[in-house]
């Protein structure tokens, strides 16, 4: 639905050039949205899908088994949107300080994303509100190491930024100048805490995401923080018992459409087209998460059943398999500590699982070998192929 622009252009200077920066109006001044039959249907379907996802997290024997891998998949895809080239195996190896041949800055970024997400939901779980202070804390963790560590982690920018194009003068978009940005952030924080806006948590998350991306308050890491806000808002609002919904893969698969719709909101006030896109993403992503969790549970059950049929050494192999469910990549020594079994016993059990095709050795070394749970990694890696422009 076409309207007027959702903000004004302010003349400012950036890198010696005069540019027009876009300053969005507060979300409190949002015109009445046209929630037609299509949007209402999408909203209802999204809520049902979120309900199924939330129910699944309470029905899983151990939700942490799913969270461990799924959070890392989100971190990987969200970082790929920014240009990293890591894989899920790279990240898991890096977390064990074993990352031969991996671009260290890339995998550090992904690891930081995991830590930032975990920090955010831990703080919300402790009762801390989602506010500008927490957003800065998340950003500080996100840029704590590697690329971006020199871009004022945890601090809102005090200078003009821009993105797209080769210089400010031909930039695709120029966010608000710092003095206007501060007012925008104050209004956005107030909107986060207002319950009387008439919008439920899902629509509020959609609106806040656009506003945050438009304000672009950091020198680096805005896209990743903006994507993190979605599951954190839903978690903080009690829509999900666990922060299990991540839209990065959906945004990655529809990257051009995503950026087009952000522009349409800013320049033509077309919130409805954005909301339809966002709700479809919620629906697809929630259904995909449920499907992935069920596939993993089926995988675990089938592999356990195959192990039980082997007879000799079954108890040790099953204990190792249980550890692989909790940590899909590790060394024989680590699995020995997790299972309480001796390294020789773990080695024999691991070699049996390798013969069965359940695991594979990842390093190609004869010593200090690392093993990965093959199908577990394959299922979670779906959709994480690096972006090609």
For residue range 214-238, what is the model confidence (pLDDT) as tens digits?
A: 999 999 999 999 999 999 999 999 9
Are residues 321 and 257 located together in one domain of the fold?
no
User: Distance (Å, rounded) from C-alpha 188 to C-alpha 28?
Assistant: 9
Q: Order across the sheet with 359-361: list the strands.
A: 329-331, 370-373, 359-361
Residues 38 and 135 in one domain: yes
The DSSP code sequence of 25-77 is: PPGGGPPPP---HHHHHHHHHHHHHHHHHHHHHHHSS-HHHHHHHHHHHHHHH
CATH number of residue 53's parent domain: 1.10.3290.10
Q: What is the pLDDT of residue 389?
A: 39
Find the farthest-apart pair of alpha carbons in the chain and give their distance in angstroms, rounded: 76
Same domain, 341 and 276: no
Q: In this structure, are 80 and 202 located in the same domain?
A: yes
CA distance 217 to 136: 10
- Residues of the chain with confidence (pLDDT) below 70: 61, 97-105, 196, 385-389
Q: How far from 123 is each of 114, 119, 206, CA to CA, in Å? A: 14, 6, 22
Is 299 a member of any domain? no
Do 236 and 332 belong together in one domain? no
d(CA 64, CA 242): 10
Q: Does residue 331 share a domain with residue 286?
A: no
> Do residues 384 and 297 touch, judged by C-beta distance below 8 A?
no
Does 148 fall in a domain? yes
Query: Where does residue 83 fall: left (phi above 0), alpha (psi -120 to 50 degrees), or beta otherwise?
Result: left
Last residue of a domain, one of 292, 319, 335: 292
Within-domain flag for 277: yes
The first and second tokens of residue 334, run together, are: 């680590």
Do residues 318 and 307 touch, judged by C-beta distance below 8 A? yes
Q: What are phi and psi of 163, to 5 degrees?
A: -150, 155
Does any domain span residue 187? yes
Looking at the fold, whether 267 and 327 belong to one and the same domain comes out as no
Query: Do residue 235 and residue 352 come from a single domain?
Result: no
Q: Are 93 and 371 in contact (CB under 8 A)?
A: no
Last residue of a domain, one of 258, 292, 326: 292
CATH assignment at residue 338: 1.10.10.10
Q: What is the pLDDT of residue 104?
A: 65
- Per the structure, the complete domain to which residue 169 belongs is given by 7-292
Same domain for 87 and 168, yes or no, is yes
Strand ranges, E, within 72-224: none
Residue 215 shares a structural domain with residue 348: no
Interior angle at CA 198, CA 183 and CA 242, nearest 5: 85
Residues 10 and 98: their CA atoms lie apart, in Å, by 49
Model confidence pLDDT, tens digit, residues 24-49: 999 999 988 999 999 999 999 999 99
> What is d(CA 289, CA 50) in angstroms, rounded to the nearest whole number?
10
Beta strands of the chain (E only): which ranges?
Answer: 7-14, 17-24, 329-331, 359-361, 370-373
The helix/strand count (H/E) of the chain reads as: 15, 5
CB atoms within 10 A of CB 212: 22
pLDDT computed for residue 196 by the predictor: 63
How many domains are there within the chain? Answer: 2
Same domain, 37 and 186: yes
Q: What is the pLDDT of residues 261-311, one digit of tens each?
A: 999 999 999 999 999 999 999 999 999 989 988 899 999 999 999 999 987
| pLDDT reported for residue 387 | 47
Hey, what are 64's tokens? 């942490």
> Looking at the domain assignment, is residue 386 inside a domain?
no
């Amino acid at each position: 639905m076409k309207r007027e622009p959702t903000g004004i252009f302010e003349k400012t200077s950036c890198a010696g050039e005069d540019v027009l920066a876009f300053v969005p109006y507060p979300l409190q001044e949002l015109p009445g949205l046209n929630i037609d039959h299509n949007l209402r249907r999408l909203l209802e379907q999204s809520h049902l899908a979120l309900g199924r996802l939330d129910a699944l997290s309470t029905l899983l024997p151990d939700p942490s088994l799913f969270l461990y891998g799924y959070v890392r998949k989100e971190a990987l895809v969200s970082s790929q949107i920014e240009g990293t080239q890591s894989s899920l195996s790279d990240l898991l190896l890096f977390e064990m300080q074993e990352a031969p041949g991996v671009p260290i800055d890339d995998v550090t970024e992904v690891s930081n994303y995991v830590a930032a997400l975990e920090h955010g939901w831990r703080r919300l779980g402790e009762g801390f509100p989602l506010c500008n202070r927490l957003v800065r804390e998340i950003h500080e963790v996100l840029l704590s190491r590697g690329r971006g560590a020199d871009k004022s982690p945890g601090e809102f920018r005090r200078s003009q930024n821009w993105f797209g194009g080769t210089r400010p003068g031909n930039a695709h978009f120029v966010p608000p100048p710092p003095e206007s940005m501060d007012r925008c952030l104050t209004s956005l924080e107030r909107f986060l805490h207002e319950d009387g806006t008439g919008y439920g948590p899902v629509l509020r998350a959609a609106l806040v995401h656009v506003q945050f991306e438009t304000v672009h308050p950091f020198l680096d890491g805005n896209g990743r923080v903006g994507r993190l806000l979605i599951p954190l808002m839903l978690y903080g609002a009690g829509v999900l018992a666990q922060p299990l919904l991540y839209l990065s893969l959906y945004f990655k698969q529809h990257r051009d459409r995503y950026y087009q719709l952000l522009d349409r909101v800013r320049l033509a006030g077309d919130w409805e087209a954005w909301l339809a896109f966002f709700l479809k993403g919620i629906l697809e992503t929630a259904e995909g998460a449920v499907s992935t969790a069920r596939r993993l549970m089926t995988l675990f059950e089938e592999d356990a059943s195959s192990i039980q049929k082997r007879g000799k050494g079954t108890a040790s192999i099953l204990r190792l398999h249980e550890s692989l469910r909790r940590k899909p990549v590790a060394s024989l020594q680590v699995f020995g500590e997790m299972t309480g079994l001796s390294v020789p016993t773990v080695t024999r059990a691991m070699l049996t699982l390798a013969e069965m095709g359940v695991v594979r050795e990842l390093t190609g070394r004869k010593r200090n070998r690392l093993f990965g749970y093959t199908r577990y990694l394959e299922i979670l890696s779906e959709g994480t192929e690096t972006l090609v422009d």
